[in-house]
Amino acid sequence: MPILKYKPRALVYFTASKKHLSFYPSCWAIEELEDRLAGFSKTVHAIRFTPAAPLPDDLVRDIVLVHVREIDAGRQ
C-alpha cells in the first residue's frame, strides 16, 4: 500500500481494488470534512471512490491539510 509521509508519520495511504479505489487519510479529516464527503462510501479510516466519480482535487487537498495541521499540533 503506497504511503505518503509527513514528519516521519503516515499522512495518507492509497489502495486499488477491482471495484473501487480507497484513500486513507486520518479519521480526524474524515470527521471534520464529513459534509463534503456526501455521496462517497466511507469508513472511519477510508474514503472509497471510482475513476468515474473521483474525489475532487480541492477536497483531497483540504483532507491532507487537516491531517498536516493535526500532526503539527502533536495529535496522536
For residue 26, count other CB atoms closer than 10 A to its CB: 21
Query: Can you give the residue ranges of every domain in the chain?
Result: 3-72
pTM for this model (two decimals) = 0.89
24 SS3 class:
strand
d(CA 53, CA 61): 17
What are residue 36's DSSP bridge partners?
Answer: none
Of the two residues 76 and 46, the one the predictor is more confident about is 46
Of the two residues 46 and 75, the one the predictor is more confident about is 46
Q: How is domain 3-72 classified at the architecture level of CATH?
A: Alpha-Beta Complex (3.90)
Can you give the pLDDT at residue 1? 85
Close Cβ partners of 67 (under 8 Å, ≥ 6 residues apart):
6, 11, 12, 25, 26, 28, 29
Q: What is the pLDDT of residues 4-61, one digit of tens each?
A: 999 999 999 999 999 999 999 989 999 999 999 999 999 999 999 999 999 999 999 9
